[in-house]
Structure formats: structure tokens, C-alpha cells
Chains A and B, each alone.
Chain A
Amino acid sequence: MNTIIISVVTLSLLAVVLAGALYVVAQRFHVEDDGRIDDVEALLPGVNCGGCGFAGCRALAEAAVRRPTMEGVYCPVGGGGVMDAVAALLGKAGAAQAPEPMLAVVRCAGDCTVRPRTNRYDGAASCLVMHRLYKGDTDCAYGCAGHGDCVRVCAFDALSINPATSLPDVRNDRCTACGACVRACPKGLIELRRRGPKGRRIFVACINRDRGGTARRACGAACIACIKCQKVCAFEAITIDNNVAYIDFTKCRLCRKCPGECPTGAIREAGFPPAGMKG
């Protein structure tokens, strides 16, 4: 009984003394923080994805409060609406210099049916580890490794590996174009492209820089740099560099001529109504 009383009393005394010490320290060393930082942070999405280029939402809020203008401070996740609200809160002009809405696009169409597996990879389930070791388990050294490094870094659940194709699928409604997957992909397959009007867009789903024949042998959906698309494009949006075509989305007018021309189907279109519904 005695032991219990002694310990209860001792611990209570200790708690009181320490609480007092903490109170004194908190008063003495109180840091006056700009209250607006908390307010701004509350407006931000709060996922700390780093898509803005700052260390997290708090860092962006601090920058927004401290910097004289809102230039260079933009949350791609929250978009123009959030930045307008932040600018209004801080009373700063020239906010929402909203870039066009973007979207992550996986530039590889090499699913299991067109890109046969030529060896069996047995190492750590990480695209980065596999990429450092060798070309990958297909003959295309540029294509998707399929171990989902991009899926793991996505803070918005916008990416998932499709078990049928073993390529990542992007859920357009969830993607905020924060760019985390672009940085995570060791092969540099993911690109942020313009969402396009009504979500319509055309892109080359291949980055294989090998010569046509080599690329084609490795993958049936590879760009073979035949320049057919370049010839048919009326807007000079298509460039061919290092044996691979690229569509500049700032020039592309979505005329839909090139996808039909592509002999391998490397040029993909998305967001258009299905054929036959036109007119």
C-alpha cells in the first residue's frame, strides 16, 4: 500500500513540476509566427506532394506569405481556384497565373501482347533497381518495367498497374499533374502533357531510341521513326529525333490525321468519342 502511495505522489509531483517548466519555456521562447501561414496552409490540399517545387504545403504557404508577389508560387494540385483564394486572403494581386491543366501520360504501349518477355527478372520489385541492373525483361530497353515505382509515389491514387497489360493506368479524374511519378520513373516514360479540350489529346506512346528494325523486333507497338506522321501533320507539331517521334502538344491541333497513319499504332489518341458517332 505504502509503495503505491509513494509512487503516485512522486509521479504527480513530477508531472506538476515538469508541466510548470514546459509552461515557462513556452512563454519565454515563444516565436511570433505569421498567423496567415496557417490560414494559407488550411486552404491548400495538404498532401505534401511537392508538385509545386517546395518541400511541402507548409513551405509553399510560407513562400506565399513572405514573397512580395505570387510569382512562382503555384499549387498544381489545387489549381487556379485555390491560388485565387490564397491571393485574396493575402491581398496580393497577380495570383492565379494558372498554367494549362496538365495530366500525366505514360509513353509506353508495350503491353504483354506486343512486347514479349525474353527473360525472367527475379530481383527486387522496383523499377529503379531493375533499370540499374539491365535493359529489363523484354528486348526494349526503354519501355515500362512495370514494377510500379510511379504507383507507390502517387499521393492521389491516380495510378495503378493494369494486370492485363502490366502497364500503369492513369485515372484522369484523380491525376493532379503534381509530377511525382515523372520524377520516380527511372526510364523517363511519364510526361506531363496538356489535358486538352474536353480531355482530348494525341501523343506518341513510345520513347524507344533504337533504329526502326531493332525497335520493332522488341515491341510491336514501337515507334519506328518512319516519318509518316510527320509528313501528314499540317502544323509542324511532330518532330523526329533519335529515331522516335514526338508530338509537341502546344502545336498539335488534334486533327487526328497522324494516329491513322502510324503503322505500329504507337500514336495514341484519348478522350475522343468513339468512331462512328461523329456527325
Chain B
Amino acid sequence: MSVFTDIRRTVYGKERLRTFSIGGAHPPSCKLAAQSATEEMIPEGTVSLFLGQHIGAPAVPVVGKGERVKTGRLVAKANGFVSANIHSSVSGTVLAVEPVADLAGRRMPAIVIQVEGDEWEEGIDRTPDIANDISAIDAATIIRKVSDAGIVGLGGAAFPTHVKLSPPQGKRARTLIINAAECEPYLTSDYRVMLESGEQAIIGALLLQRALDAPEAFIGIEVNKPEAIFHLQKIIRERGYSIRVVPLRQRYPQGSEKQLVEAVAGRRVPSMGLPVDAGAVVQNIGTALAVYEAVQKNKPLIDNCITITGRSAPRQVNAMVRVGTPLSKIAAWAGGIPSDTGKIVCGGPMMGKAVANIDAPTVKTTAAILYIPEREALRRKESNCIRCARCVRACPMGLEPYLLIRLTQCGRYDELQTHRTYDCIECGCCLYSCPARVPLLDYIRIGKEKIKR
């Protein structure tokens, strides 16, 4: 009997496992690093903190060249409401505020800090004790602390969390959904967070729930992580927290906001809308942990859990890595880049980006370093579209990818609008399922950009 059926029988009775209704793919999960306990990496040399590592206006630096900073010190201030603070992830001296090449090789403004020791700002509680008393904290305090700590959505979009916690006028979030689906193959950082800091993450979720004044809260986890489901349920039962774990059928892209709202709450997010239009707010489990640390421990967002994995990786590693550490340093620390590597992907294999510059620093949302062996690295040769409509069946947003790319290639941008190109979530299911290997998503992205203008 598989673990899968086992979970179904013992824990959830006859109830069908929930998931979203249309499209999706089922890539092999390959969670190679699942059993590796999280290690901590203290960087050496220099770290570079990008000023624009979130959605919205880039932050404005508040430190100058030659200034000494301690770990956790504010180094760049949010520029407006939709923006986020940036804190020094190390202690040391500011070398410069200058353009640094990012993952794609483009030079973006960043604060470069020379690491000297690891001295923390006063007021940051670094003890491992769990501070589970949240009775005295009100919503405004939580939102202020989250905003001060520079927390952004760690699921990948890097949307400033305090903005998400302040729904627009007239809209109210009834449901808070904590996204722990981790549907991307290979990634195990959220899984390790749940196993190792499960209670802290749950307290963070409860803080988020209070900030939103939401009557109900759920944690959505895919069933390929049974230990995480059991572990969180055990904590919730023992401590009597008012949050529910919802096991989800394994399916990509379950961790996408709109799909998750449908899977967990059974409500559809309208086209062009936000989850709050369906009365829900989705936050990643990593974000929940960061919120706990910010509110209860005064620790700003300066590190995150990164999975370093790949079929031929010397060591499968999950590591707490300081923001701004160069990827090359992390790779060397974790045992080096395997010799048969053809491509390094930053993030999961479905939505991650190929690394063009291995010396690029990490950002707050960096989730993984994935080594793809030479033989799997290249795309297979593209052939002609045979109108098999597999992309249509795979699209979780109900779009027609084959049509969208033809319209983009022909420059018929006005028709892209009528075919709802703007709804594309860039999950890559179409590309994954295409037997002709047509670069569908590449062109849809171009189309999306064209209609934005």
C-alpha cells in the first residue's frame, strides 16, 4: 500500500483530495533534498543587495560608501507604499552602491558590503525559544512590523507583504491560505521549514490571520509531503491553534495563487482579479515564518531557505542563506558544481530562470540552485505545431497557447486582448506538455508585454 492511499484512508476518510479544476501537469517530483536538514551558511567576501528585489519601486539607499553596518541594519528604505525595506544581511563595511550583474547578466543598482564577522543589531532576538504569545498584538502593529522588516512574498513574486495585508477599500479577506503546496519539482525548502520551524510558521500564519481579520485560515500542502502534513497537524492538535491543514492532490501549478484559492476554498478568482476578489489572501509558508520572526523576534528578512540540488549534485543541501550571497559562493560551499552540469537553474525546473551569470547575488525570493546535467539541459528540436491541443488541455487558466503564440508572431496584438493573454500565469504547463517543443511560453510572455503597453 502506498503512502498516498495510506494518508487518504487514515486521515481524511472518504473525502476526495482537493485540487484545482482545469489544466495542470504532473511533472515527477524529484524531491531529492527532502531528507537533508537545514544548514546555515555564513557568507564570506562580499554580498550585494539589489535595491529592486521586489515588485514596485526600488528602495532608496540610506547608507553610504565606507559606512559600517551590523547584520539586520536598514540599508535601503522603501520608496512609496508598494516597495520594501532592505536590511543588511551581514555585518561589515559598505564598499559601494553600484550596478551589479544579476542572474540575467543585466547590471542593476545594488549595495555591496564587505563581510567582517557576524555582529547583529541590538534588539533582534536570536534565541531559539518559540514566542507563541500573540494575544497582545493588534493588526496595525503586525502590518507595521511586517513593513519595517521588508517582508515580501517568498513564493516567488516578491510582492511586498504589507501591501497584501491591506486589501483595497470595500474588499475583505474572509480566508487566509498559507501556501505550502511546493508543487515545483526538486524544491524542498518549504518542506524543511514545515518540519523544522513548523510551529513558528503556524504562529506567523496566525499573525497574518489577525492582521487580515480573517475568520478562517488554511494551510494547503500537497500529499507528496505526508510527514509535513502529519507534523503540522500534530502541532495544531496539541496547541489548539485555530488553523486547518488541507491536504491537496499533487498537481502542478497548485502553488499558484489562483489555483490554490480554488483548490482550498473552492472559489474561483475572477479573470484579471486578485485572490482578494474571491475573499482570500494567499501567503507562502516561508513568508509566514518571516512574519513570525519579524513580529515576535524583531528579525528583518535577511535570509531564506535555499535548496541546492540536482541529480548529480555532490550533496543535496537545504541551507539558510543570507540575502545577497553570490550563487557561485553558495555552490562552492555546498560541494561545488558537478562536472556534467549543462545548465544551472535558479528556482525550480518549471518556473526557475537559467543562470547566465553564476556570480549573481541571491535575492529575497531565491528558492533553489538546481544543476541540470548536460544531457537534459538543451531543449529538444522544435517541430511544427500539429494542433493536438495538448497545451489547451494543460493550461490551468483555460487559455489557448497555440493561438496566442501565432497571434504574437503575426503581430496581431489587439486580438491577444480578446483571448485573455493577460491571464497567463507563466507556469509553463503548455511548454511542458507540447510534443512539438514549440517555445510557447517565450512568445506568450512577449505578447503579454505588448498588450500591457
- CB within 8 Å for A129 and B443 given contacts A141-B105, A210-B107: yes
Q: Is the CB of A128 within 8 A of B446?
A: yes
The total of Cβ contacts below 8 Å across the A-B interface reads: 45
Query: Can you name the residue of chain A whose Cβ is closest to the Cβ of B440?
Result: A124
For chain B, residues 347 to 378, give those with C-beta under 8 angstroms from any C-beta of chain A: 353-354, 356-357, 377-378
Give B450's nearest chain A residue, CB to CB. A128
Residue of A nearest to B107 (CB): A210
Q: Which A104-149 residues have C-beta < 8 A from chain B?
A: 119-120, 122-124, 126, 128-129, 132-136, 139, 141
Contact of B105 among A122, A123, A132, A139 (CB under 8 A): A139
With a CB–CB cut-off of 8 A, which chain A residues contact B119? none
Contact of B445 among A120, A132, A139, A141 (CB under 8 A): A132
Q: Is B439 an interface residue (CB 8 A)?
A: yes
CB closest chain-A residue, reference B449: A132
> In the bound complex, how far is the Cα of B444 from the Cα of A128, in angstroms?
12
* Cα A128 to Cα B443 with chains together (Å): 9
Which residues in window 102-140 of B have CB below 8 A to A? 103-107
A140 to B271, CA, bound (A): 39
Q: Is B442 an interface residue (CB 8 A)?
A: yes
Knowing A119-B356, A135-B356, the reply to whether A124 touches B107 (Cβ < 8 A) is no
Q: A132-B449, A135-B104, A135-B356 are in contact. Are A124 and B378 (CB under 8 A)?
A: no
Of residues 72 through 94 on chain B, the ones whose CB sits less than 8 Å from some CB of chain A are: none
Q: Which residues of A contact B387 (CB under 8 A)?
A: none
Chain B residue at smallest Cβ distance from A210:
B107
Q: A135 near B105 (CB under 8 angstroms)?
A: yes
Tier of interface size on chain B = 20 to 34
- Measured CB to CB, the nearest residue on chain A to B411 is A153
Is B452 on the interface with A (CB-CB < 8 A)? no
Q: Which residue of B lies closest to A134 (CB)?
A: B104
Q: Is the contact region of chain A dominated by helix, strand, or loop, or is it mixed? A: loop
- Give the docked Cα–Cα distance between A172 and B343 (Å): 41
Nearest Cβ distance between residue A81 and chain B, in whole angstroms?
Answer: 31
Kindly identify, within residues 410 to 453 of chain B, every residue whose CB is under 8 Å from any CB belonging to chain A: 439, 442-443, 445-446, 449
Give chain A nearest CB distance to B208 CB in angstroms. Answer: 34
Q: Which of B24-39 contact A (CB under 8 A)?
A: none
The distance from the CB of B293 to the nearest CB of chain A, in whole angstroms, is 33
User: For residue B353, which residues in chain A have a CB less than 8 angstroms away from its CB?
Assistant: 133-134
Nearest-neighbor residue (CB-CB) of B377 within chain A: A122
Question: When A119-B356, A122-B378 are in contact, do A133 and B446 touch as well, CB less than 8 Å?
Answer: no
Contacts of B104 in A (CB 8 A): 133-135
Which residues on A sit within 8 Å (CB–CB) of B101?
Answer: 135
Q: Does B379 contact A (CB under 8 A)?
A: yes
A208: min CB distance to chain B, Å: 11
Q: Which of B388-424 contact A (CB under 8 A)?
A: none
Question: A residues touching B (Cβ–Cβ < 8 Å)?
Answer: 119-120, 122-124, 126, 128-129, 132-136, 139, 141, 210
Q: A124-B442, A134-B104, A141-B105 given. 10 additional CB < 8 A pairs?
A: A122-B378, A126-B442, A129-B442, A132-B449, A133-B104, A134-B106, A135-B104, A135-B356, A135-B357, A136-B105
The 3 nearest A-B residue pairs measured at CB: A135-B105, A134-B104, A124-B439
